[in-house]
Structure 1
Amino acid sequence: MRLWKLLGLAGLAGVAATGVVLARGERQRRAHTPEEVRTRLRERHAALADAPEPVTAAELASGRGHRLARVLRRR
């Protein structure tokens, strides 16, 4: 019977700890102003726009991305 009590208390402690972590994350998210959120989204979009294009099949055949070509041939 004592083991079950300890397991129950451990479960309650786990639930409480999870709630604390979720509440802290929510407070941090709500701390940003809408303008800060917009700025961060625009920065992320600009970073994605500057990313290199994915490797095409022709480039794989020519040797570019040879490691990827080997992985794809294994399938």
Structure 2
Amino acid sequence: MRWWKMLGLAGIMGVAATGVVIARAERRRRAYTPEEIRTRLRERVHQADGRSS
């Protein structure tokens, strides 16, 4: 039964690590100012228009 405990601990650690990665990405995403977001979106639209032509 010891290997079940190890497997459970590994699963819990995996879930915790995933949560940390998601939290970091969310913090990084929220760090943009509204003007930076608008600028990035306009750049994406401009690139997409260039590809479709």
TM-score of the pair, normalised by structure 1: 0.66
Counterpart residue number, 1:19: 19
Letter in 1 for 2:12: L
Q: Which has the larger radius of gyration?
A: 1
Residue segments in structure 1 that go unaligned for 5+ positions in a row: 54-75
TM-score of the pair, normalised by structure 2: 0.92
**Does residue 30 of structure 1 match 2:30?**
yes
* Cα RMSD after superposing both structures: 1.0
Residue segments in structure 2 that go unaligned for 5+ positions in a row: none
State, as a whole percentage, how many aligned pairs show the same letter: 66
Aligned residues: 53
Higher RCO (Cα < 8 Å, 6 or more apart): 1
Counterpart residue number, 2:8: 8
Moved over 3 A (4+): none
